[in-house]
Amino acid sequence: MKIITQLTEREGWHLRQGFPVQVGVKRGDSPFSAGHRHRTMTEYFLLLRGELRLRVEALEFEVKPGDLVVVEPGEGHAVTYASPDALLLLLMPPPVPGDKLELDETERQK
């Protein structure tokens, strides 16, 4: 058994090695990475509070608290807006070397 107390108070990736899933906590008042895609991994976005806009491929949409967005392998995605009070929980398999591919400038502007 493993208990991580006050997980949502500590931004970053947790349970990265030795577990079947890594858990990320991201706040809206800190920078998000550039748009990217994963070759093999599925990424899960669960908005706990605040406002969030997400782009997956050419579709940009608002995510509401309690919404779960599942981004499949190969789908380019980026957070385009997060309110300062936003709190996002991210779930995905442990890191795979070479799996994350940054979107090029053309893909970022779609």
CA angle 24–28–31, rounded 5-degree value? 80
Edge to edge, the sheet with strand 100-102 lists: 59-63, 52-56, 77-82, 36-38, 100-102
- Tell me the fold of 7-108: Jelly Rolls (2.60.120)
| Nearest-angstrom CA–CA distance, 78 and 58 | 11
Question: Given this model, what pLDDT does residue 41 score?
Answer: 95
| Nearest-angstrom CA–CA distance, 91 and 110 | 25
Kind and range of the H or E run holding 107: helix 105-108
> What is the reported pTM?
0.89
Question: Which pLDDT tens digit goes with each residue over 68-110?
Answer: 999 999 999 999 999 999 999 999 998 889 999 999 866 655 5
DSSP state of 9: G
How much is the CA Rg of the chain, to the nearest whole Å? 14
Q: Point out the least confidently predicted range of 8-17, 45-54, 82-91.
A: 8-17
